[in-house]
Structure 1
Amino acid sequence: MSYDFDLFVIGAGSGGIATARRAAEYGAKVGIAEYDRLGGTCVNRGCVPKKLMVYAAHFPHVFEEAKGYGWSEVKSSLNWDTMITAVNDEVTRLNGIYQRMLDNSKVELFHGHASFVASHTIAIGEQQITADKILIAVGGKPHRPNILGIEHAIVSDDIFNLKEQPKKLVILGGGYIGCEFACILNGLGTEVIQIIRGDKILRGFDDDIRTEIQQGMINHGIQLYTDAQLIAIEKTDNGVAISVGKGDTAETVYADAVSLAAVGRKPNLHNLGLENTGVKLHDGAIAVDQYSHTAENHIFALGDCTNNINLTPVAINEGRAFADTVFGGKSRFMTYENIPTAVFTSPEAATVGLTEAEAREQYGDSIKVYRSKFRPMYYTLAGKDEKTLMKLIVDEKTDKVLGAHMVGDHAAEIIQGVAIALKMGATKANFDATVGIHPSSAEEFVTMR
């Protein structure tokens, strides 16, 4: 049978675009559909604009810390509109780059919502397109919990479009998205209250990281309601009233403008027409094998819609592995061990490998943990009691480093390098034999005894 395309990709986020371009390099005729802006969550509503706002939130601290180094006091205020406009202008610039990348790769872009009408046929508006192979890369979307008045809450995507800075903000959720936005808005001068169901933020991360970041956030002025739940949200003349339950008691918290719901994301499968295919779901996500195959042999899926490891670089790697295998004759698949990740809170954190709890579960009593906690040199003259935590988890039987964790300035930049060592199977002896760069925080990773 003759098809319009060798490969058609639904979703032009980072994973979908990377896959389309790689397949086209191998000579495949490729089409891609996107109903929103190019680049997906990362470029438009996630990594990029969020990190730019992280930078913006750091300046007040730098102004204050500079006085310890002899600089005169700085009186400065934030122009929210200028910042948001600059952030969104950069996003628009990146959209243009993605468009040029697709054009240069001769990937045909279709603007509109794509859905299956048959296993080889995609409808985009009134147009129907056939493809030999189809890749689903539609990403995820924010989850809105079933709470009375939730329609009065914004989700994480909306924060980049606020016309005015909220003076007081309530954040629901203790995952990395909620924690990052709590720190961003707090750094920009908003009064922040964060509500979490458990006793600690960042479930799934190493416990030392969770404890250190949580205390750091509290020290920086974020009000944290632990072991609590949001009962209802009510619109008022002056903003919103949030009913918060804790045990058998409840109290009302008022915010001047909005309440940010940041309680996770779900695969974005609405109106995709999967019922017209043999694709199967597992826990609300598309089920795939290690080669990104779905239950229908010619349909593939990757990225956040499979709810595996929801990170942009993972989706990109999955996509390139798929293209190499299917169109390049180079069979390979994505491996998920020792994937580094960062949390851009204040303080910042980054991690690679096993948490201490995971290591003890897998390796038992052979685990040895090395920790170092100190005040970085930068803060001595600044007169601040900011701490950095570094942690290595080692299997004493093999001396292999199983996990590396850090809380502190530049954690992401430092752990990226450490991740290479773990990926190569480095031992504690390899770390010990490495000469440190002095004076730096990073040298602690090779001097811990």
Structure 2
Amino acid sequence: MSYNYELLIIGAGSGGLAAAKRAAAYDINVAVVEKESLGGTCVNRGCIPKKLMVYAADFALQDQLATSYGWSECQRQINWSQFLSKVHHHIDKLNQSYLQTLEEAGIDPIFVIGDCTNRIPLTPVAIAEGQAVVDTAIGNQPQSVNYDSVPSAVFTRPEAATVGMTQSKALQKFGDSVRCYRTEFKPMLYSLSEQDEKVMIKLIAEGENQRIVGAQMVGEHAADIIQTLAVAIRQGVNKQELNATICIHPTIGEEVLTLE
């Protein structure tokens, strides 16, 4: 059997799948090379199962906090076999969805081993890179990926997230024009509890107009808040513009907009 393809994609992880689907939109013959399950590390061993496990752990944390709000104590145990079975079932459904999507797009899978990425090891970055490659090579629309303000998070409890420059990197690049704004407080969720839970938010600004070049946060909703700030940083928003924005009260996010 002969195979005639205009594009061969090695690896069906996040980047490979994004490139394949983008290439199919250009109406060319595409093949995806992958020995293991579709979706790569993110779907099968990383992002998805990791976040599901964090969600499972949250129920135990909520039980500890519930008594502070008047709920009676209860003793619950997790059935790990049942939980892991559900996780694997969910991942299998995702893989089936990928197979169906590739077939509907006219993309033929060839089962071989493949993995070749060495930039920022994050799923959204891989997706952006895959799309940029296809747009440049096939669509005649040259694209590049901006790696300067890529947000990232650690899905522990509490969450931690960052985007842009850290304080030390900003000082190295801009020197004495850097100014840091930092706050630490107890989130409202724990206001009735004796638990000493904290949220930390830090903004790094530079220059006379105090352009925001970085942000870090540890605490509840850190990932969602920081990835929203990524848009502001890419657009060159300054500290005064953040402070002039009317916030939603009471929220953790308002602390970013009122930080002094």
Supply the distance in 1 between the matched residues of 2:87 and 2:212 (Cα, whole angstroms): 39
Among 142, 150, 154, the alignment partner of 1:331 is: 142
**Post-superposition shift, 1:398?**
3.5
The one-character-per-residue Cα deviations of 1:32-73 (angstroms, maximum 9, x if unpaired) are 111100100000010000100011111111011011111111
Give the letter aligned to residue 82 of structure 1.
Q
1:93 is matched with 93
2:257 is matched with 446
Determine if the alignment matches structure 1 residue 82 to structure 2 residue 82: yes
2:242 is matched with 431
SS in 2 for 1:381: coil
Determine if the alignment matches structure 1 residue 43 to structure 2 residue 46: no
The one-character-per-residue Cα deviations of 1:146-167 (angstroms, maximum 9, x if unpaired) are xxxxxxxxxxxxxxxxxxxxxx
SS in 1 for 2:144: coil
2:231 is matched with 420
Structure with a larger share of its residues in strand = 1
Q: How does 1:43-442 map to 2 (within 5 A)?
A: 43-113=43-113, 138-139=114-115, 305-442=116-253
The one-character-per-residue Cα deviations of 1:391-425 (angstroms, maximum 9, x if unpaired) are 00000334110101100011111112111111111
Supply the distance in 2 between the matched residues of 1:405 and 1:437 (Cα, whole angstroms): 20
Give the letter aligned to residue 24 of structure 2.
A
TM-score by length of 2: 0.96
Supply the distance in 2 between the matched residues of 1:76 and 1:342 (Cα, whole angstroms): 29
Note if contact 1:49-1:87 (Cα within 8 Å) is conserved in structure 2. Answer: yes
**Post-superposition shift, 1:103?**
1.0
Supply the distance in 1 between the matched residues of 2:164 and 2:227 (Cα, whole angstroms): 12
**Post-superposition shift, 1:101?**
1.2
Note if contact 1:64-1:74 (Cα within 8 Å) is conserved in structure 2. Answer: no
**Post-superposition shift, 1:436?**
1.5
SS in 2 for 1:31: strand
Q: How does 1:9-24 map to 2 (within 5 A)?
A: 9-24=9-24
The one-character-per-residue Cα deviations of 1:297-337 (angstroms, maximum 9, x if unpaired) are xxxxxxxx332111111011001011111111211111111
Which is bigger in relative contact order (C-alpha 8 A, separation at least 6)? 2
Give the letter aligned to residue 242 of structure 2.
F
Structure with a larger share of its residues in helix = 2
Supply the distance in 2 between the matched residues of 1:53 and 1:429 (Cα, whole angstroms): 39
Give the letter aligned to residue 72 of structure 1.
S
SS in 2 for 1:4: coil
**Post-superposition shift, 1:383?**
2.3
Q: CA RMSD in A?
A: 1.3
Note if contact 1:376-1:386 (Cα within 8 Å) is conserved in structure 2. Answer: yes
Supply the distance in 2 between the matched residues of 1:445 and 1:53 (Cα, whole angstroms): 29
SS in 1 for 2:213: strand
Extract structure 1 runs of 4+ deviating beyond 6 A.
none
Q: Which protein shows a greater Rg?
A: 1
Supply the distance in 1 between the matched residues of 2:226 and 2:19 (Cα, whole angstroms): 27
Give the % identical residues: 47
SS in 1 for 2:148: coil
Change (3 A) 1:36 1:90: same
**Post-superposition shift, 1:111?**
2.2
SS in 1 for 2:192: helix
SS in 2 for 1:55: helix
SS in 1 for 2:237: coil
Supply the distance in 1 between the matched residues of 2:161 and 2:45 (Cα, whole angstroms): 21
**Post-superposition shift, 1:10?**
1.2
Note if contact 1:338-1:419 (Cα within 8 Å) is conserved in structure 2. Answer: yes
Supply the distance in 1 between the matched residues of 2:258 and 2:47 (Cα, whole angstroms): 32
Q: Which runs of 5+ in 2 are unaligned?
A: none
Note if contact 1:66-1:382 (Cα within 8 Å) is conserved in structure 2. Answer: no
Supply the distance in 2 between the matched residues of 1:340 and 1:321 (Cα, whole angstroms): 19
Give the letter aligned to residue 65 of structure 1.
L
Note if contact 1:12-1:32 (Cα within 8 Å) is conserved in structure 2. Answer: yes
**Post-superposition shift, 1:3?**
7.5
SS in 1 for 2:215: strand
Supply the distance in 2 between the matched residues of 1:89 and 1:97 (Cα, whole angstroms): 12
Note if contact 1:376-1:387 (Cα within 8 Å) is conserved in structure 2. Answer: yes
**Post-superposition shift, 1:79?**
1.0
Supply the distance in 1 between the matched residues of 2:168 and 2:88 (Cα, whole angstroms): 40
